[in-house]
Amino acid sequence: MESRIEKILWSIALPGFGQLLNGKYMKGILFIGLELLVNVQSNFNEVIISSFHGDVSRAISHANYKWLMFYPCLYFFAAWDTYRDVEGGKLPYSYFPFIFSAYFVTLGLIYSPNFRFFGFLLGPVWLPILCCFLGVGLGLSFKWLLLKRHHEKEHT
């Protein structure tokens, strides 16, 4: 039997894989199909390859942002769904890091054609990745603050 961590890591690798490992086959196939649709329509693989080769201008020009904007929410919802199934559904506010990441990665995409970080144009792969860390950090911070507040109310 697969471990919880393994399921979450497979979900991070490709939306839908975690659902398949959790035995939710229809949902897994749906997520994989949506991921493939968005990936192909947005030219995401070309964008990734160009970004990894350091050709950010080419990545920006090949990105279909109208489709690529769907990717963060699809990706993080599928990851959250797997996490919830394996361990996180019972914990209050455990969805915050996923939601904040989806929002901040989307903002990173919106600003990626123009935003420069220390003079460098990061483009539609690297800026959203940096924004993901910000989203996770803020999500965990808000989760911690709300849990702390909840516990304080219980003790008064």
pLDDT for 30-75, tens place per residue?
999 999 999 999 999 999 999 999 999 999 999 999 999 999 999 9
- What is the separation, in whole angstroms, between the first and last Cα of the chain? 44
Predicted pLDDT at 106: 97
Q: From CA 14, how far away is CA 45, in angstroms rounded?
A: 13
Q: From CA 156, how far away is CA 154, in angstroms rounded?
A: 6
Predicted pLDDT at 2: 57
For residue 135, give the H/E element and its range.
helix 123-154
Backbone φ and ψ for 120, nearest 5 degrees, come out as -100, 135
State which residues of the chain have pLDDT below 50.
Answer: 1
Predicted pLDDT at 88: 66
Number of helical H runs and strand E runs in the chain: 9, 2
| Predicted TM-score (pTM) of this structure | 0.89
